[in-house]
Copies of this chain bind each other. A is one copy, B any other.
């Protein structure tokens, strides 16, 4: 089996940090297929470094919930319906408040970035481009979260959002869901633009609830097929 993923080092701090960044980005972009395993020695060989920094990075990702470590490599966790519900419960508690903060602290540049991400999402939804929609969604969230001054709050949110996002690639491909999400994003964006913290709070609450409902409605059938090959045809394999 050839390497499906190309890792390259990015110049930022020590090796462990570089590798960590790379792998996490790969996961966040949905480039790691469920069931696909990451092996420290393979990645190390690919990067031309030793196992240890890679191993450290992988273990950190395990501690953060991005991966699970088995005795035969590291893979994405398979989330149960309960896991998803648990994650959304925490998000429901944290994100509205964080959005209210962002409504206060977002500057003009931030709003511009959000507007761009929103437009991209709308265009992607119209074109049915799931990958672009996924990306625009992440950009939107990263932008407003970056304006939240409470680092621990924003980082906790980012982590939990990432955990469901990994499986969410499928939900986000669903056309009606895309429409609902875009509408939610627009509503939130407008609250931000008006610097209306209360509206931001309420609309984020609504947004998360919608996201969870959509998720739960679409996930069960997907889960069953997941055991096999997901909806993405596996290329190669002769």
Contact = CB atoms under 8 A, between A and B. Distances in A.
Interface of A: 56, 59-60, 63-64, 86-87, 89-90, 93-94, 97, 150-153, 156, 160
Most chain B C-beta atoms within 10 Å of own C-beta, residue among A56, A64, A87, A152? A152
A156 B86 CA distance: 12
A68 to B, nearest CB: 14
Number of identical protomers: 2
A86 B56 contact: no
Contacts of A160: 152
Contacts of A90: 94, 150, 152-153, 156
A142 B108 CA distance: 44
16 contacts: A56-B56, A59-B59, A60-B60, A60-B63, A63-B64, A86-B151, A86-B153, A87-B152, A89-B97, A90-B94, A90-B153, A90-B156, A93-B94, A93-B97, A94-B94, A156-B156
Main secondary structure of the interface of A (DSSP, over half): helix
Nearest to A96: B93
Contacts of A64: 63
Nearest to A101: B89
Contacts of A153: 86, 89-90, 93
A71 to B, nearest CB: 11
Contacts of A94: 90, 93-94
Contacts of A56: 56, 59
Nearest to A59: B56
A149 B160 CA distance: 17
Contacts of A87: 152
Contacts of A151: 86
A156 B93 CA distance: 12
A224 to B, nearest CB: 24
